[in-house]
Amino acid sequence: MLSKVMTEAIQHTREAAEDLTPFSAYDITLSIRDANPDLYVRHDDTVRGVVHGYMACLMSKGEYERELVRDPESGANYYRYYPRIDQETLDFVKGWVKARYTFTPQSIAIEMSKEGVSQRGVTRAIEVAIQDAEYKTVEREYDAETFYLYRPVGVIQDVSRGSSWLEGWQYTSGVLTIYKQDGKVFMYDEVDADCVVGLAQAESVGRYFNRCIKDNFAYTPVIP
């Protein structure tokens, strides 16, 4: 039993570290429980020892960092591990935040890949980049998956009352972001201001969008 838990702890810690997303020892315990529903796994020094020992090696190589976090509910302190942020990654994310774009970790990673920018520590970079910015984190579900959507505060035009499918839109630096009621989000590039004025003044926003914007501008799915 003990050897199995330790083996599982090593495996899950390795997978979490390779995934380059922040995590804690308790997250590893939860992942072991999910993978082994018939196995009783306590969150004790066995799991914590494996996680902290494995991560100490990665921190010594400069690949990971950790911070001491206090749980707001229990008041307990714990260590949270996150990949060392690549400065190029942080600068890229800060550029998007400054431009007040809407994005998810997945969509911004795609843009980084297109530009050849390192994605190391992108989740942590987003946390750092939006700390002092007026951004809202929205949890959305689409196709049985949960997405964390980051969008600027106070710039969303709500049109849900006048459309059967459109929730709202945002226009920033020539980019028109469309929010659909089914959770999908799309960014249309190089949309001229006159089109956006027409969208704002249209009696039927949906009909105007379908006629003048939908097939006339290149777009990128933020949430497909």
166 contact partners, CB below 8 Å, separation of at least 6: 159, 160, 178, 179, 180, 181, 205, 206, 209
pLDDT at 199 over 80: yes
Domain boundary among 93, 119, 154: 154
Q: Cα–Cα distance between 149 and 139 in angstroms, integer?
A: 6
Closest CA to 167 of 136, 133, 104, 209: 209
Burial of 196 (0-12, 13-18, 19+ CB in 10 A): middle
The confidence score (pLDDT) of residue 99 equals 85
- Is the domain of 32 the same as that of 78? yes
Instruction: Name the residue range of residue 144's domain.
Output: 85-154
Task: Domain count for the chain, please give it.
Answer: 3
- Is the domain of 115 the same as that of 50? no
Q: pLDDT per residue over 40-81, tens digit each?
A: 888 989 899 999 999 999 999 989 999 999 988 888 899 999
Q: Cα–Cα distance between 202 and 156 in angstroms, integer?
A: 16
Q: pLDDT per residue over 90-121, tens digit each?
A: 999 999 998 888 888 888 988 899 999 988 88
Alpha carbon 64 to its chain's center: 19
Provide the whole-model pTM.
0.67
- Is the domain of 25 the same as that of 66? yes
Amino acid at 93: V
Domain boundary among 83, 101, 136: 83
* CATH number of the domain enclosing 14: 1.10.10
* % of the chain with per-residue pLDDT over 90: 32
- Is the domain of 121 the same as that of 166? no
Q: Cα–Cα distance between 149 and 86 in angstroms, integer?
A: 22
